[in-house]
Amino acid sequence: MKTMKLGSQGLEVSVEGLGAMGMSAFYGQRDDAESSATLNRALDLGVTLIDTAEIYGPFLNEQLIAKAIGHRRGEYSLATKFGSEVTDDGERGPVNGSPAYARKALERSLRNLQTETVDLYYLHRVDPGTPIEETVGAMAEFVKEGKVRYLGLSEAAPETIRRAHAVHPVTALQTEYSIFEREPEGNGVLETVRGLGIGYVAYSPLGRGFLTGKISTPDDLPEGDWRRTMPRFTPENLAANLQLVDRIKDLAAAKGVTAGQLALAWVLAQGVCAIPGTKRRTYLEENIAAAGIELTAADLEALNTAAPAGTTAGTRYDEAGLKSLYK
């Protein structure tokens, strides 16, 4: 697995990490045994960035990681997030970026992860009620204390990124990014992080599984799967989006790879780190193979023609979810 420098502060990770969210939340039933095997297999194959958050479960995902690969802690960089408030009983509340909550969340994550240090600590969503300078100032204290190595932001607007970076160097910015979701190209986010020397981490680089070509109707998703409620997976939008996926499938077949692998290779060709999520070893191995695919200029042009920016039908979140983005 190739590696890359993430940001300008010294963090180096595999170009493809592993998003662990779906192992414990949102995407159907849990299978902790298979998820544990998948986490260990990822490390065996050279993945060195594992991504989680306290909200995933809540807490269950961090606890799973500790149990599954805590004994291999020196082999990977561990990223977790806070900001979507959760009580100790697991009840979810509003976005909270206050210094007090940041402290509570970090100490709790350290316990759940059974580690003394988080390598990359993200603000999961920006709290409009707390100046970003106060939130990042509190996070900077964690670095001084040795409890966090590097700081990150998720779904932050360009001006917020600049203000945060002025308080303490930001190592990584994470947002959704794929050939299916290209808003960061047009809203200044990618331009801002590249100008500041901040690393970029693309979550949902497979369009929440849509770009694998394995989803053709909502019934292909498990009962209780969060995606059943997401705008891009409603029947009316699904039909339009399947046309986009079919074009990617055709290009993938011509190259002798799967649609998902081609979509992942496109993300990696943008010079960013991708963290596709899966809870199965089979899909993990398929995803990791994408890191070895070399795309020519002609390949990239064909993909951009097949799936131009702005052609995806439906928004990526519902109205409430969209309100928390790019603050």
Read off the pLDDT of residues 207-233 as tens digits, 9 standing for 90 and up: 999 999 999 888 898 888 999 989 999
| Overall average pLDDT of the 241-248 stretch | 95
| 56 is annotated as an active-site residue | yes
- Looking at residue 224, what is its pLDDT? 86
> Phi and psi (nearest 5°) for 157?
-80, 160
Read off the pLDDT of residues 69-88 as tens digits, 9 standing for 90 and up: 999 999 999 999 999 999 99
- In which band, very low, low, confident or very high, does the pLDDT at 277 lie, cut at 50, 70 and 90? very high
Percent helix, strand and coil across the chain, each to the nearest 5: 45, 15, 35
- Looking at residue 219, what is its pLDDT? 87
**What is the enclosing helix (H) or strand (E) of 93?**
strand 92-95
| Overall average pLDDT of the 266-271 stretch | 98
What domains are defined for the chain? 3-322 (3.20.20.100)
* pTM of the predicted structure, to 2 decimals: 0.97
Read off the pLDDT of residues 166-184 as tens digits, 9 standing for 90 and up: 999 999 999 999 999 999 9
Tell me the C-alpha distance between 311 and 156, whole Å.
23
Q: Answer whether residue 304 shows pLDDT above 90.
A: yes
Q: Answer whether residue 163 shows pLDDT above 90.
A: yes
- In which band, very low, low, confident or very high, does the pLDDT at 58 lie, cut at 50, 70 and 90? very high
- Looking at residue 217, what is its pLDDT? 87
Q: Of residues 27, 56, 200, 203, which has the active-site annotation?
A: 56
63 vs 225, residue with greater confidence: 63
List the Cα angle 162/125/139 in 5-degree steps.
65
